Structure 1
Amino acid sequence: MNNNAIITITNLRLRTFIGFNEDERTKQQDVVINAEIHYPANKLCLADDVDNALNYKNICKKIIQHVESGKFLLLEKLTSDVLGICIDHSWVRYAKVTIDKPHALRFADSVSLTLSYEADNETVRGEF
């Protein structure tokens, strides 16, 4: 049986420079980040051993630092970068990131982009 632990980061609200229009390049905008990270729920993880679980606080801190200190022309690049942070640990088997850019379109609440990653089943990354 293949059990996954799933970390979900919901509605992480940050500000960054995002877009290629003149006003977007000089004024920070809100973005809303949702991420889902899957990794094996091994017996050590379930036994309350901190060293055998992914540290979601560290992942979140890395996302915040990268997003708030960056400047991005495209939502695709920002989403790709955040996905890269989410899959940086060798245990991650699957991750999905959706980033919303509120008020990007006049008559819409937001525009969002989703990217996902799935590890190759033949490539075992890490010991369990």
Structure 2
Amino acid sequence: MTIHIEDLKFQCIIGILDFERVKPQDVIVNANIEYDDANGFINYADIVQIIKKTVIKSEFLLIEDALKEINLKLLKDYKAIKNIYLKITKPSILPDCKVSVSDYSNSQS
């Protein structure tokens, strides 16, 4: 089974620029989480809350660090997860584009 979370949008402090450390900005998270459903299901609402809580609480300097932390938390909390693809987008940081960083992790990493 695969959980797809598309365009999860919320505000947080994330980034290294001075103004990013003062005022929350929009981020958009997309995730594909492949898991073994032999022992039941994974509640996607719980996954959404973990993602939001992790990013909002930690006020990361780098998107890369946020991705790593979310991956570690999900793989630790849900042994059934086989693979995770995460992408975090900052839609308003540059005037002429959206910027994103993505990561792919699996339970064997």
Same fold (TM over 0.5): yes
Q: State the alpha-carbon separation in 1 of the partners of residues 21 and 86 from structure 2.
A: 23
Q: Displacement of 1:29 after TM fit?
A: 0.6
Count of paired positions: 107
Q: Which runs of 5+ in 2 are unaligned?
A: none
Amino acid at match of 1:113: V
Helix, strand or coil at the partner of 1:104: strand
Per the alignment, residue 116 of structure 1 pairs with 104
Query: What RMSD in Å do the two structures reach over aligned CA positions?
Result: 1.5
Amino acid at match of 1:99: I
Q: Which runs of 5+ in 1 are unaligned?
A: 46-51, 121-128
Helix, strand or coil at the partner of 1:94: strand
Helix, strand or coil at the partner of 1:103: strand
**Structure 2-normalised TM-score?**
0.88
- Residues 63 and 82 of structure 1 are in contact (CA less than 8 Å); yes or no, is this contact kept in structure 2? yes
Per the alignment, residue 18 of structure 1 pairs with 14
Amino acid at match of 1:100: T
Per the alignment, residue 37 of structure 1 pairs with 33
1:91 aligned residue (56, 69, 80): 80
Identity across aligned pairs (percent)? Answer: 28
Query: Once structures 1 and 2 are overlaid, which stretch shifts more, 9-18 or 60-69?
Result: 60-69
Structure with bigger gyration radius: 1
- Residues 75 and 107 of structure 2 are in contact (CA less than 8 Å); yes or no, is this contact kept in structure 1? no
Q: Which has the higher helix share?
A: 2
